Structure 1
Amino acid sequence: MTKEIGGYFQLEEMPGEEYYTDLYRVNLGRTALLWILESRRCKKIILPYFLCESVVHTCSENQIETEFYHLDEKLEVQYPKGQLPEGVYLYLVSYYGQLSDDRILEYKKLYGNIIVDHTHAFFQRPLKGIDTLYSCRKFWGVSDGAYLSTDTKLTENNTPDYSADRMKHILGRYEQDAGTYYKDMLANAAKYEGMELRQMSRLTQNLLKAVDYETAKAKREENYRILSELLPSENIFNQIIPEGPFAYPYFHANGMELRRRLAAKKIFVPTYWKNILESCERDSLEYTWAADILPLPCDQRYGAEDMKYMAAVVRECEELE
């Protein structure tokens, strides 16, 4: 393509640096997993029941046999111990950043073949020799993008992704509100089903260079601290306070109703793992975790006053019961 000179201006090249400059860059977390599955010649993957369905779909769409395991009340893997045979991998998820490096190394020693999902733990650096994936849109204002730490190579990963058409809901919310662009966000997410593995788009990579990671990390940690003081919640998902927390996991015995009341006051708390509410028994740990753990936002968009306001509204909504 002939280089264009002149005409109207495009987005500027950002002068900063990404948080992960030495990892592979791909378009989505699920395609990062696809990279691992293909390059490792994975035949079978052992997944937790407590898992979003996009991972399961990625495996089934690529003819990977799946088996499932439960977690106990301490988030310990309930699967027979022993080195896994070639082509079989155990999938580990760091829920709310609760999977420490020490535990990852223990599982590596126990099972050998493991894949670590740090979707909820962006700031937790990967361990050498352990396939680890990260999703960018769970932490930053981008529509896509993922990082992958692995020592395998996939030569077919040469096609760049393009993100411009996926930015409407992100840019729209910046200037207006979430509700106006909520349908656009859902429509955008639906397009990710079955998406092929591609390189991270230039647009996403450029936007990630503009993030002040240290400030964002510090804000998340301070906001988490404030919520933990105003809304103390003893549950397995806040035993470890991770670096730059994903969210503040708050337990409420009637979590779905509390979500509805908060949404009416424009405090939007997502229900992750909605598929669990349909596939698991109500008395299971997985169902309780999906329904009654509320990931209260504590990210870099907000400050101390926002946290105090949110905590007050949570208490107000709880008093209605």
Structure 2
Amino acid sequence: MVKNMPGMRQEIGGYFSFELNQREKTSFHSNGIYLNSGRNALEYILLSLPRISKLWIPYFTCDVILEPLLKLGILYNFYHINERLEICEDIQLESDEYLLVTNYYGIKDKYIQELSSQYSSKLIVDNAQALFAEPIKWVKSIYSPRKYIGIPDGGIAYIKDGIDVHQFDIDVSYDRCSHLLKRIDLGAGEGYMDFKENSYKLQGQPIKRMSRLTQNLFQAVNFDQIRNIRRDNFRLLHGSLSQTNKLPIPDLDSFSCPMVYPYYTDDCTLKKRLIENKVFIATYWPNVFEWCSSASLEYNLASRVIAIPVDQRYVLNDMKTVLSIIK
């Protein structure tokens, strides 16, 4: 935990800051490298590699993945996935090539473990949607905590023998928090444009270490509680929707903690109905509509998977309300 600025004496007196309950003994991602965004966690890993000639990436991913690749001039190839959200091609990596695989919706932990046996140190795991997935020894991975909790930015990288992180400045995040504050005071709708603007500010940012503000917010979180709530909410939804969900959902014991409940449906009106009832549904990912044809699986996943919130803000009765809208 960062308590005061390097080279500065601890200030005494004056106005108060937020009272954040710092969990000194937490082990949650304590061995990770704390950076200022998920995309910069990927850039940090790429910079740490002795050599990379090409990175294989899925069509079904967020376009921010391209930002560090374009910045560093690294070639990339796309690959397709199947309805199990698994690679459907036989990718044979050449020398100095690496494979980026996504832990979709935080439910593909077991599959990622299986891939690690095949690709080992050539594998880079995108755990942006899987904050609770355990890092795998010798496997490089990135995390984006703001997909799970209310923080303005931040990313975590895992790589053996990464470059010295202390060469990078510490970021400053206070000016990217307006959406978090407005949501508390004014509601989600009033803060939405701030959320978009603050997310946009993350584009093109140089690698920096995670800000003190983001670190303090991160370390104040009860992650055990969050994991339990998310799993309970997911379990309830799956119990009611499994028969109509076109997406094969792995056994709940095979993954640590979901980001959302992914409901793959042919009901083209459902997303609109949910939003009209103030159940806000994100689209993962709009860029896929430009990258893929309308006949592709990836296009259909982006347009027809309803990412139902299951997070720690909601209880089982909230999930029952969502189910009443769906049915």
Q: How far off its partner does 1:244 sit?
A: 2.0
Q: Does residue 98 of structure 2 align to residue 89 of structure 1?
A: yes
Provide the C-alpha distance between the structure 1 equivalents of 2:209 and 2:99, rounded to a whole number of angstroms: 25
Aligned partners of 2:111 and 2:89: how far apart in 1? Answer: 18
Match of 2:22 in 1: 15
Q: Indicate the SS of the match to 1:68.
A: strand
Over 3 Å counting, the alpha-carbon distance change for 1:9 and 1:100 in structure 2 is closer
Q: What RMSD over aligned residues (CA atoms) do the two structures have, in Å?
A: 1.9
Q: Which residue of 2 aligns with 1:289?
A: 301
After superposition, residues 1-321 of structure 1 pair within 5 angstroms as 3=9, 4-12=11-19, 14-16=21-23, 17=26, 19-40=28-49, 41-86=51-96, 88-101=97-110, 103-110=112-119, 113-155=122-164, 157-232=167-242, 233-236=244-247, 238-241=249-252, 242-255=255-268, 257-315=269-327
Report the CA distance between 1:105 and its aligned residue: 4.1
**Code of the aligned partner of 1:224:** F
Whether the 8 Å contact between 2:79 and 2:87 is mirrored in structure 1 is yes
Answer yes or no: is the 8 Å Cα contact 1:158–1:199 preserved in 2: yes
CA distance in 2, matches of 1:32, 1:237: 30
CA offset at residue 269 of structure 1? 0.5
Separation of aligned partners in 1, 2:111 and 2:263: 25
Conservation of the 8 A alpha-carbon contact between 2:127 and 2:142: yes
Query: Once the 2 structures are TM-superposed, how far is the Cα of residue 13 of structure 1 from its aligned partner?
Result: 5.3
Is the CA contact 2:100–2:124 (under 8 Å) kept in the aligned structure 1?
Answer: yes
Counterpart residue type for residue 15 of structure 2? Y
CA offsets 1:216-253 (integer angstroms, 9 cap, x no match): 11110110111112333433352243322111111221
In the alignment, the residues of structure 1 paired with residue 8 and residue 220 of structure 2 have an alpha-carbon distance, to the nearest angstrom, of 28
Taking structure 1 as reference, are residues 112 and 19 closer, same or farther at Cα in structure 2, changes over 3 Å only?
closer
1:101 & 1:142 partners in 2: Cα distance?
28
Distance 2:121 2:27 in 1: 31
CA gap 1:21/1:258 in 2 versus in 1, 3 angstroms: same
Which residue of 2 is the match for residue 318 of structure 1? none
Aligned partner of 2:4 in structure 1 is none
Give the superposition deviation at 1:129.
Answer: 0.4
C-alpha distance in structure 1 between counterparts of 2:36 and 2:121, whole Å:
27
CA positional deviation for 1:66: 1.1
- Distance change in 2, residues 1:181/1:116 (3 Å): same
Q: Do the aligned partners of 2:109 and 2:256 also contact (CA within 8 Å) in 1? A: no
Deviation at 1:136, TM superposition (A): 0.5
Shift of 1:102: 5.5
Partners of 2:196 and 2:230 lie apart in 1 by 26
Residue identity opposite 1:247 in structure 2: V
- Whole-Å separation in 2 of the counterparts to 1:193 and 1:108: 34
Distance 2:191 2:239 in 1: 33
* Structure 2: gaps spanning 5 or more residues: 1-6
How far does residue 314 in structure 1 lie from its aligned partner after superposition? Answer: 2.0
**1:62 partner letter:** L
CA distance in 1: counterparts of 2:38 and 2:127, whole angstroms: 10
| Distance across 1 between alignment mates of 2:307 and 2:8 | 48
Instruction: Provide the secondary structure at the position in 2 that maps to 1:71.
Output: coil
CA contact (8 A) 1:96 1:237 kept: no
User: Following the alignment from structure 2 to structure 1, what is the Cα–Cα distance between the partners of residues 104 and 113?
Assistant: 13
Question: C-alpha separation between the residues in 2 aligned to 1:282 and 1:82?
Answer: 28
1 CA distance for matches of 2:14 and 2:290? 53
Kindly indicate whether the alpha-carbon contact (under 8 Å) linking 1:91 and 1:114 is maintained by their aligned counterparts in 2: yes
Secondary structure in structure 2 of the residue aligned to 1:38 = helix
Which consecutive residues of structure 1, in runs of 5 or more, have no partner in the other structure?
316-321
Distance 1:153 1:7, change over 3 A: same
Q: In structure 2, what residue type is equivalent to 1:173?
A: R
